[in-house]
């Protein structure tokens, strides 16, 4: 009996840490600001066939529409109600997307904005994506409905009503984050509205949630909400499946709030990961790739089975949030591909790939004053569709990092080596490193300023393999370099520091 209770407890408590992705699918991709119709098509034509596990979508609910600056991406982080009409499409389009993606085994993860509503200066009127009336000054959101009693201002004890000191946990949870009207999450009524919103999404078929601004909510309030979420829709998921939860908590160390307060509730974003990896690959502060030997917990990160990892996200790729200038993004494509390649080859954490749109940066005193620019849009503010070019890249300003050959192939690599141990590490004491994943895959990086030419133990069975970075296996031929693994498992690698991509990766599904 004791055993049974213990088993039940482990079963229940581990559930929300599980990504719910289909067996053999190990990554999700953030299709930032994509329209629902485009995501549905992408699931069917690209993500499903290439083994992606799911999509993090931009906020799904009714949000403010801002005109100064013109239609910034961040308007979607200012909820007006929990109706499902957003800049990405209406409710019917959202439902259609969830069904079509689920049907090809690519699951949907919703960015849930439950800490706050719009900014206190958001004015009054019907300038919301659903056209809902609201009055931000009076804290009146009749489409939920919320009224002034549902907000925190009385509890907040700073002079400005804003978070002024991140070392004071009370301010961080009870005051306004950049002026956003802060919800009183200890109120049963408020919890109920949020639970209804999230359970509605679960009934539609989503597989989990990114919890925005989790640091700004008391863990106890969050737990009360998360405990009331329903199991996933059994049209697609096994009975009793809990929603996957990953919480946005930025903890680079040295603040009043630690990720440890949240790791019991679900996974947590590991922001040290991208910040440190950026330093290593840029070779800043004396960092070098050889130091990655004990990457993961050895670097002071949270436990691997609690971490949601990413090289960049929609905030820190444009200087919002945390991480600073070290963050690797598509703007530095060559080193970005190495960073994402490293993340996808390495077993630490559950990995999310970023997929962005391009904007023109304009640095004034070190800050990009164009950090607000919204997605590619028509003159009336409607988001543009994502056109696919003949070479399978995207047009109209959509970057589609997930379609870059090297990144797509490394997402497949991660699936192929899933469950295999980190093995056969090698380094030259500088910036040339290699490691394997059991007997399923092997990767080699040359981030030094000279040639790499070395024979290494790969752990792989003998054979001729196609490097999935310089090319890929197509039918029985290889469009990139070929690597032969001898019967003792060794292979010679030669990677020039001038190669277009100075790394190589082989795995058992790319054997010729
Ligand atoms: C401004 C002033 C305030 C003033 C207010 C008056 O700065 O001092 O009180 O006007 O109304 C936008 C503007 C911001 C403006 C605010 C309210 O940029 O200047 O305040 O709106 O009108 C995104 C953007 C924010 C944006 C917000 C809401 O990054 O710039 O604010 O959306 O539109 C911390 C948190 C972390 C957070 C990170 C960015 O711990 O949780 O900052 N990350 C998440 C999301 C992020 C989002 C939010 C949280 C808020 O990933 O994208 O912020 O939902 O580290
Ligand atoms: Ca709060």
Proximal ligand: closest to the CA of 183: 2
How far does the centroid of ligand 2 lie from the alpha carbon of residue 257, in Å? 13
Q: Which residues pair with 445 in a beta bridge?
A: 433, 503
Proximal ligand: closest to the CA of 217: 2
Pocket-forming residues, ligand 1, beta carbon under 6 Å = 74, 77-78, 113, 119-121, 162, 177-180, 212-213, 215, 248, 250, 315, 320-322
| Residues contacting 151, CB < 8 A, separation 6+ | 117, 139, 181, 182, 183, 184
Nearest 5°: the CA angle 141, 142, 143 is 95
How far does the centroid of ligand 1 lie from the alpha carbon of residue 118, in Å? 10
Q: What percent of the chain has pLDDT over 90?
A: 96
Tokens of 140: 């009146």
pLDDT of residue 350: 98
> Both ends of the chain: CA-CA distance in Å?
53
pLDDT of residue 11: 44
Tell the residue nearest (CA) to atom 2 of ligand 1: 178
Proximal ligand: closest to the CA of 314: 1
pLDDT of residue 15: 72
pLDDT 10s digits, 109-120: 999 999 999 999
Tokens of 6: 């213990």
Q: Is the pLDDT of residue 5 over 70?
A: no
Contact yes or no for 119/66 (Cβ under 8 A): no
Query: What confidence category does residue 6 fall into, taking pLDDT thresholds of 50, 70 and 90?
Result: very low
Q: What is the mean pLDDT of residues 228-239?
A: 98
Query: What confidence category does residue 1 fall into, taking pLDDT thresholds of 50, 70 and 90?
Result: very low
Q: What is the mean pLDDT of residues 174-182?
A: 98
Query: What confidence category does residue 324 fall into, taking pLDDT thresholds of 50, 70 and 90?
Result: confident
Residue with token string 């990766």? 505
pLDDT 10s digits, 329-347: 999 999 999 999 999 999 9
Q: Where does 204-259 show beta strands of DSSP type E?
A: 208-211, 244-247
Tell the residue nearest (CA) to atom 54 of ligand 1: 77
| Residues contacting 69, CB < 8 A, separation 6+ | 372, 373
How far does the centroid of ligand 2 lie from the alpha carbon of residue 160, in Å? 15
- Pseudo-torsion of CA 275, 289, 309, 93, nearest 10°? 90
Q: Is the pLDDT of residue 9 over 70?
A: no
pLDDT 10s digits, 54-73: 999 999 999 999 999 999 99
Tokens of 112: 């849930």
Distance CA 97, CA 102 (A): 8
Residue with token string 């981030």? 447
pLDDT 10s digits, 436-477: 999 999 999 999 999 999 999 999 999 999 999 999 999 999
Tell me, rounded to whole angstroms, the distance of Cα 292 from its chain centroid: 22
Total Cβ atoms within 10 A of residue 361:
13
Proximal ligand: closest to the CA of 64: 1
pLDDT of residue 323: 79
pLDDT of residue 38: 99
DSSP calls for 103-149: HTT-EEEEEE--SEEEETT--EES-BTT---EETTTTBBTTTTB-GG
Tell the residue nearest (CA) to atom 31 of ligand 1: 178
Tell the residue nearest (CA) to atom 44 of ligand 1: 213
Q: Is the pLDDT of residue 238 over 90?
A: yes
Residue with token string 């499903």? 48
Distance CA 53, CA 244 (A): 13
Q: What percent of the chain has pLDDT over 70?
A: 97
Would you call 459 exposed, middle or buried from its count of C-beta atoms within 10 A (0-12, 13-18, 19+)? buried
How far does the centroid of ligand 2 lie from the alpha carbon of residue 246, in Å? 17
Distances (CA, A) of 117 to 141, 144, 328, 393: 9, 11, 31, 36
How far does the centroid of ligand 1 lie from the alpha carbon of residue 472, in Å? 42
Distance CA 452, CA 432 (A): 7
Question: Which residues are known catalytic residues?
Answer: 212, 248
| Test site for ligand 1: of 62, 118, 178, most ligand atoms within 8 A of the Cβ | 178
Q: Is the pLDDT of residue 139 over 50?
A: yes
Contact yes or no for 484/447 (Cβ under 8 A): no
- Pseudo-torsion of CA 409, 415, 418, 421, nearest 10°? -10
Q: What does the DSSP 8-state code read for residue 223?
A: H
Tell the residue nearest (CA) to atom 35 of ligand 1: 213
Q: Which residues pair with 64 in a beta bridge?
A: 128
Q: What is the mean pLDDT of residues 18-27?
A: 98
Nearest 5°: the CA angle 292, 294, 300 is 100
Contact yes or no for 288/433 (Cβ under 8 A): no
Q: Where does 230-340 show beta strands of DSSP type E?
A: 244-247, 267-269, 307-309
Q: Where does 232-365 show beta strands of DSSP type E?
A: 244-247, 267-269, 307-309, 350-355, 363-364
- Ligand 1 atom at minimal distance to the Cα of residue 75: 33
Q: What is the mean pLDDT of residues 480-504?
A: 98
Distances (CA, A) of 36 to 95, 214, 223, 286: 9, 25, 30, 44
Q: What is the mean pLDDT of residues 252-264?
A: 95
Tell the residue nearest (CA) to atom 8 of ligand 1: 178
Distances (CA, A) of 130 to 85, 239, 243, 446, 503: 5, 34, 27, 51, 47
Per-chain mean pLDDT for the chain: 96
Select from 310, 305, 250, 237 the least CA-distant residue to 277: 310
Q: What is the mean pLDDT of residues 306-314?
A: 98
Tell me, rounded to whole angstroms, the distance of Cα 374 from its chain centroid: 19
Distance CA 376, CA 398 (A): 7
Would you call 230 exposed, middle or buried from its count of C-beta atoms within 10 A (0-12, 13-18, 19+)? middle
Strand 503-507, strand 490-495: pairing: unpaired
Distance CA 349, CA 290 (A): 20
How far does the centroid of ligand 2 lie from the alpha carbon of residue 175, in Å? 6
Query: What confidence category does residue 14 fall into, taking pLDDT thresholds of 50, 70 and 90?
Result: low
- Grouping H, G, I as helix, E, B as strand and the rest as coil, residue 79 is strand
User: What's the whole-model pTM score?
Assistant: 0.97
Tokens of 427: 């380094």
Q: Is the pLDDT of residue 10 over 90?
A: no
């Amino acid at each position: 009996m004791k055993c049974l209770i213990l088993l039940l407890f482990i079963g229940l408590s581990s559930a929300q840490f599980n990504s719910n992705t289909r067996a053999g699918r190990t990554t999700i991709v953030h299709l930032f600001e994509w329209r629902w119709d485009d995501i549905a098509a992408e699931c069917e034509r690209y993500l499903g066939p290439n083994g992606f596990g799911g999509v993090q979508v931009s906020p799904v609910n009714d949000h403010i529409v801002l005109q100064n600056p013109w239609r910034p991406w961040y308007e979607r982080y200012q909820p007006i109600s929990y109706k499902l009409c957003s800049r990405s499409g209406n409710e019917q389009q959202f439902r259609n997307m969830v069904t079509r993606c689920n049907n090809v085994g690519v699951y949907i993860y919703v960015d849930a904005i439950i800490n706050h509503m719009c900014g206190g200066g958001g004015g009054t009127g019907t300038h919301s994506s659903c056209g809902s009336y609201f009055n931000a000054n009076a804290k009146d959101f009749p489409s939920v409905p919320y009224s002034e009693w549902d907000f925190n201002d009385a509890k907040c004890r700073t002079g400005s009503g804003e978070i002024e000191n991140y070392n004071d946990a009370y301010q961080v949870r009870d005051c306004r984050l950049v002026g956003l009207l802060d919800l009183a999450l200890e109120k049963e009524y408020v919890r109920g509205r949020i639970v209804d919103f999230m359970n509605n999404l679960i009934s539609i078929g989503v597989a989990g949630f990114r919890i925005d601004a989790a640091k700004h909510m008391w863990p106890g309030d969050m737990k009360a909400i998360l405990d009331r979420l329903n199991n996933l829709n059994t049209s697609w998921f096994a009975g009793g499946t809990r929603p996957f939860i990953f919480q946005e908590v930025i903890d680079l160390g040295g603040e009043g709030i630690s990720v440890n307060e949240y790791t019991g509730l679900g996974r947590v974003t590991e922001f040290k990961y991208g910040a440190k990896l950026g330093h290593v690959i840029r070779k800043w502060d004396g960092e070098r790739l050889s130091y990655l030997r004990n990457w993961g917990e050895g670097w002071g990160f949270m436990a691997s089975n609690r971490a949601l990892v990413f090289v960049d996200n929609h905030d820190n790729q444009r200087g919002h949030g945390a991480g600073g200038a070290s963050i690797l993004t598509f703007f530095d494509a060559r080193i970005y591909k190495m960073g994402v390649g490293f993340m996808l080859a390495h077993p630490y954490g559950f990995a999310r790939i970023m997929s962005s749109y391009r904007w023109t940066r304009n640095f004034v005193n070190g800050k990009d004053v164009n950090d607000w620019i919204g997605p590619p849009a028509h003159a009336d503010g409607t988001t543009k569709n994502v056109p696919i070019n003949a070479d399978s890249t995207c047009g109209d300003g959509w970057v589609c990092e997930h379609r870059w050959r090297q990144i797509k192939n490394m997402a497949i690599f991660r699936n192929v080596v899933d469950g295999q141990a980190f093995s056969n590490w090698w380094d030259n004491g500088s910036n040339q490193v290699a490691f394997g994943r059991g007997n399923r895959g092997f990767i080699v990086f040359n981030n030094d300023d000279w040639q790499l030419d070395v024979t290494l133990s790969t752990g792989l069975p003998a054979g001729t393999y196609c490097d999935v970075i310089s090319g890929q296996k197509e039918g029985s031929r290889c469009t990139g370099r070929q690597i032969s693994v001898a019967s003792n498992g060794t292979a010679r690698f030669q990677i020039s520091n001038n190669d277009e991509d100075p790394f190589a990766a082989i795995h058992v599904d790319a054997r010729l």
